[in-house]
Structure 1
Amino acid sequence: MDAVFEMRFDSQMPVASIWPGMLYGELPGEKSMENLPLVSLPKEIRDQDPNLVHSPLCRISWGDFWILIGDRVFCVAAKLPYSGWDKFSAAIDTAFGVVLRTNMVTAVNRCSIKYVDILDSIPLDASQCFKFELTLGGRSPTESTFHVRMDSREGALLHMIQVGSAAQYELAGGQLLSGPVLDIDSVYNIGSEDPKVFLSKLSERANELHAANKRVVFDCLSSAALAYLEPTYE
């Protein structure tokens, strides 16, 4: 359903208004841009709301990928169908290289990778799709709806893991996906890093985040769910 690599940063400039033109000029291939609803909200209000300060203001369609830009956030997201990590990581390197070389970022605070997967039409009870045991007051979610969220630390990384018994997602062509959902956001909190240093470590960190996120995915899925999904391993 979703695959996003995100950077959060500090800047003294309205980069959401400046970077689209630079990306248009430097990225290869066909591109188109649209403003997102938050762009109509005054900057003063966005800056004061912690729920909005890292929200994108515009989106660029670029081949198999989306680029999302805010004044303190920059993301590359994969379109469906997912084209694989090799192409995704190459797109991350290219797009991030353009904006980080503009000298408009004063410090990078964190980067993260997020994958959201839906187990479409899987013939298993939702509680059988994941390797977890859950009871509350002597009650378990077997054959019932549930939504569970937890944080898990792995060295310098923080994994924010969510599982749900039911979700729906409509593809661009109108096809409706429906089934249990697994949402994993793997975060690398950097603190306040020089953008040139961040760029030099970008590929290494992206690969580290991707590998860690994938480990959590396979740790969470049950053997029965994996047998049904018939995964292809890169």
Structure 2
Amino acid sequence: MRTILLGGALALGALAGGVPAGKAGEFDTAFSDMYASYRSALFETNAGKAESARGALEALDSQLGALAATYGAAPPPRYAEDPSWSGTLASAQGMVATATREAEEGRLPEAHESLEGVRDLFWELDRRNGAQSFSDRMNAYHAEMETILGRDLGTLGAEEVATLREQAAVLAYLAGEVTRAPHPGGPGYEELAGRFTASVEAMLAAARSGDPERIRAAAAGLKPAYSRLFLKFG
């Protein structure tokens, strides 16, 4: 959910720019719709569902293209001073085009990886412009989660457990940032957010226990809980 928090100076700049609030609202709606299609494309390519993945990518490509055509040369106020705004949109379109080609060739894992870069582009866009969304906080969490899941959890010695304990503490902090206000709310949010929080608490408790089996079991529960929340609200 692209609910944006603006820094004070940036917010004042938006007001001073004379851009009607309705226009900014139209952009937010268009971006949120596009990002919902992006989440679906990520999910379908990861699930290995070829036909659904191609359909999701087609919708994403169409919405991202419309966004670029409408706002590429006329960005919303919060991005108006960003010299890389149009380049960010072009890069995102390039990544989606690559993912679409890979999906058409039946290479869904590669398509999924190509799509992963899109979230980083928009995350960095917000960081450059002093804005933050619920999606940005989820992306920060995702990056740390992938660091943990990318470790070799098959052999956990004392040193590895100590490192995981530190990483789990960071993950718990980032999870708290995800669920703090403002958040999307709406039907299903509390349940999914609760499961998400519980998965992180289990990981932190397991890391603190030092029990390798418990750590591996808790780590296995991180991505499913995150993915369900991300797919519907991220």
TM-score (norm 2): 0.31
Larger strand fraction of residues: 1
Q: Larger % of helix: which?
A: 2
What is the TM-score with the length of structure 1 in the denominator? 0.31
